[in-house]
Amino acid sequence: MAKLWGGRFSKNTNELVDAFNASIDFDKRLYHEDIRGSIAHANMLAKCGIIPAEDGEKIVAGLKDILADIEAGKFHFDVALEDIHMNVEARLTERIGSAGARLHTARSRNDQVALDMHMYMKKEIVEIAELLINFEKALLTVAKKHEKTLMPGYTHLQRAQPITFAHHMLAYFNMLQRDFRRLLGVWEGADMMPLGAGAIAGTTFPIDRFMVAEELNFGTVYPNSMDAVSDRDYIIEFLSFASMLMMHMSRLSEEICLWSSTEFGFVELDDAFATGSSMMPQKKNPDISELVRGKTGRVYGHLQAMLVTAKGLPLTYNKDLQEDKEGFFDAIDTIKFSLAVYCDMILTMTVNVDKMAQAVSRDFSNATDLADYLVRKGLPFRQAHEVVGKCVAHAICEGKFLPELSLEEYKQFSDLFEADLLVALDPENCVEARKSYGGPAFSENEKQFAMGDNVLAHQEEQLLELQQNL
């Protein structure tokens, strides 16, 4: 098949070169954006008098027919035509004749593909934003359900201080809240219209870029033609967001893997969200969490690949930039799937309240509270820390936990100890006493729940605004 750019060439392209050069196998998913952008471009060309009005009407009608064919599975994508742009344009010209050949007036594939990618990203941001909100809702729902469920908090994977399971879930809720904020920042980068930049230096035709931007619901237009076609920072921003999101999900995945183990036994995953072993009949594996943890590295790889691809490119367009799509598409698919499956997995898992309570009562995570007890009695914290450290060492030697030591044993280390120390050692009291802003006290949880509800309400308003600007 003759190339749409073949006028300068005397030989057909080698078949291997065709295959190597082609992007249609993956960029065909841009068909909706490509056709929508072409319709807007054709409308603009006709209104500005650059092409005859009747040709503009034929082009728009033909493009709509092609869109219907693609969605009905009746469109054949040809590798020899390289990409989605040339496949659509070639089919259009076949159908409507010379009018179709006018469509590419005042544009290049360079600004065309940039437009497609910006539009596609905006659409996907909206879908991801909705999934992210749903996951946040799931975390908040679980947190509210376990407002007073005690568990050990960890540092260095060693038991540190008593907290609530609600407080732990709220930590991830807050991480995802920031991820949502970062996603809105990605939208700003995507909401710029590049069409009209041409191949590098705009066009000699009297186009109206702002008309196209308005029809396609873009907030602004690239002010520099070279920048519009050459940079992929908006994709890098998206991959950075995706990496941060997956990092947070990976950390939660690691904890779920630990919590669902026999050694912890803090949670049990629903049967619908776990798998078994082909050899060991007793196994219940947290495969979803493991896959999310593994796929995090995959998304990181896409970010690194894009950074390396872009780092040494001279302005403007270079074919290297074709490599922006596969990793980008895969990252989108990965985070959407991860968010969707995780939402339901979190909502359906069983939290073993008794096992968590048992764990927090059989450790030394209340030691800090004992030191605080001595501080309230007038002892400087550093001295209190030393005294309690000796109490812990003594308890370990005796095979006891702190509440099991007698008052006489405590008096060996400080006369400030009184019978009321047991109140300070009670795990529930330890938690409730931590009423500093952002702490795990039950009263603070209530405040955080209310804040969470407000956050979600605001995010849904922001999502609606995004949906209206697609």
- CA gyration radius, the chain: 30
> What are the counts of helices (DSSP H) followed by strands (DSSP E) for the chain?
19, 6
CB 99 within 8 A of CB 24: no
CA atoms of 132 and 126, how far apart (whole Å) = 10
> CA-to-CA distance for 372 and 388, rounded, in angstroms?
10
Residues 69, 137: Cα–Cα separation, whole Å: 39
Residue 229 CA to residue 226 CA, distance in Å, equals: 6
156 is catalytic: yes
**Do 249 and 342 form a contact (C-beta atoms < 8 A)?**
yes
Q: Is the dihedral of CA 330, 335, 336, 337 positive or negative?
A: positive
Mapping DSSP to helix (H, G, I), strand (E, B) and coil, where does residue 292 land? helix
Axis-axis angle for helices 442-468, 165-190 (nearest 10):
20
Among residues 65, 73, 186, the alpha carbon closest in space to that of 120 is found at 186
C-beta of residue 267 within 8 angstroms of C-beta of residue 259? yes
**Tokens 């931590």, residue located:** 434
* CA dist., res. 317 & res. 308, Å (int): 16
Range 438-470 burial, b when 16+ CB lie within 10 A, else e: ebbbbebbeebbeebeebbeebeebbeebeeee
**Hey, CA dihedral for 169, 170, 171, 175, is it positive or negative?**
positive
Report the amino acid identity of residue 148.
K
Comparing CA positions, the residue from 415, 444, 440 lying closest to residue 430 is: 440
Residue 458 identity (one-letter amino acid): H
Any idea how long the chain is? Answer: 470
Does residue 273 contact residue 345 with C-beta atoms inside 8 Å?
yes
Provide the Cα torsion 60, 65, 70, 74; round to 10°: -150
Q: In the annotation, is 168 catalytic?
A: no
* Gap between the Cα atoms of 399 and 312, Å rounded: 63
CA-nearest of 78, 108, 83, 87 to 23 is 83
Query: Catalytic one among 156, 278, 406, 436?
Result: 156
Q: How far apart are CA 370 and CA 388, in angstroms?
A: 7
User: Annotated catalytic sites, by residue?
Assistant: 156, 277
